[in-house]
Structure 1
């Protein structure tokens, strides 16, 4: 009986330690890295960590594609050994998001752009499985949705089709996450509602900006950080 009590007590201590010491490791592309708007300190993973009071480190790099994930995992190896939460946005560069939007705006070719998105699904699953294998078994792993930053009220040609492409991209990410057995923060998709590009207070720079085009700005990363923090806390 004493042995059973001690075993249960030890398990409670381990669980309590895990609950009391959460932390975040981030991976991915420029949607995670915030390189053009101040880098890691301004990025949504670091914002989320500050909101929650959790240590957070960001290994994401602008321009990264899915084949770059193993390199990021190598750099993050020590941090991943103790990570309780792993979050990332990745795959957009494999799709060629800016080029896809241009294809829709100029040519109204949603079908062609959509095919490139769907073709990335298998690569997403493989990347997610690599991340799972690199993290400890108890880590909570999250694919974060790509926020829909596209304008409303017909400010660009074929605007509705651009929104549809964001829907298809996020459905593809969601399906890949389900296949890999990881979590998906879908709430981020609509985080910029009322603050789309060309709005009075945009949370993203436009498709035609000279820098940071089609990416969240500092206010955008702050908002995504809030949404991510709320989800991580809800899952505790």
Structure 2
């Protein structure tokens, strides 16, 4: 092989390596707040805005005990992932049902206690995701948006906000203990566009489909905030 051919081979190989190294892969895991509920997907929105590859393995209705199956399905891609985002724990709490308990029975204390009790399982779940991922990947727990109405449009509205605050604090504390990231801005992503506002980013409790979940505008907004945060890191 000539010296010229060897040099060309080295250049091509090095260039290829740099391209591969520069590729960003964003992976979504978790429940319907990440899967998109049929109306969108914030990991895909974020990927498009960042011009990164994005794959979403989240499943509607998923609880923490469903994460191992998602990790198995995503196993190969997780090894090349640079960023991983997820919402999980909401179905273990039963966010919509818990909120209705607060609305209808003002059962805040019991619901808040249950939300806080999720922390040890969240920490274990986050560490499980860490162990399955590329060691250099950056992991981010995403809080659930506080989509509750403002202006006393529903009974016990203030306690509903308090319940969402407890859930967010629990997720944030668990993320800190697991030594992963947390994107705080998502909690208030729907400010001015809460449930029962003139331009809601979430469907109400009694919608025939997608009840108490972000709509297309809502998922797009979450994706924008996630992209902005990841871009800033």
**TM-score normalised to the size of structure 1?**
0.90
Among 41, 44, 47, which residue is 1:46 paired with?
Answer: 44
Could you report, residue by residue, the CA deviation over 1:99-135 in whole angstroms, capped at 9, with x for unpaired residues? 1111101111110110110111111001000000011
Gaps of 5+ in 2: 1-14
Pairing 1:170-181 to 2, within 5 Å after superposition: 170-181=168-179
Pairing 1:221-236 to 2, within 5 Å after superposition: 221-235=219-233
The structural deviation recorded for 1:22 is 1.1
Q: What SS does the corresponding residue of 1:113 show, helix, strand or coil?
A: helix
Q: How many pairs are equivalent? A: 220
C-alpha distance in 2 between matches for 1:166 and 1:139:
28
Contact 1:36 1:211 in 2 (8 A): no
C-alpha distance in 1 between matches for 2:45 and 2:118:
29
Tell me what 1:25 maps to. 27
**TM-score normalised to the size of structure 2?**
0.91
C-alpha distance in 1 between matches for 2:174 and 2:21:
28
C-alpha distance in 1 between matches for 2:199 and 2:230:
27
Provide the alpha-carbon RMSD of the alignment.
1.7
Contact 1:87 1:143 in 2 (8 A): yes
State the structure with more CA Rg: 2
Tell whether 2:166 aligns with 1:168: yes
C-alpha distance in 2 between matches for 1:213 and 1:151:
14
Among 147, 152, 158, which residue is 2:156 paired with?
Answer: 158
Gaps of 5+ in 1: 1-12
Tell whether 2:60 aligns with 1:58: no
Tell me what 2:11 maps to. none
Distance of aligned partners of 1:16 and 1:193 in 2 relative to their CA distance in 1, 3 Å threshold: farther
Q: What SS does the corresponding residue of 1:25 show, helix, strand or coil?
A: strand
The structural deviation recorded for 1:19 is 6.6
Among 66, 86, 106, which residue is 2:104 paired with?
Answer: 106
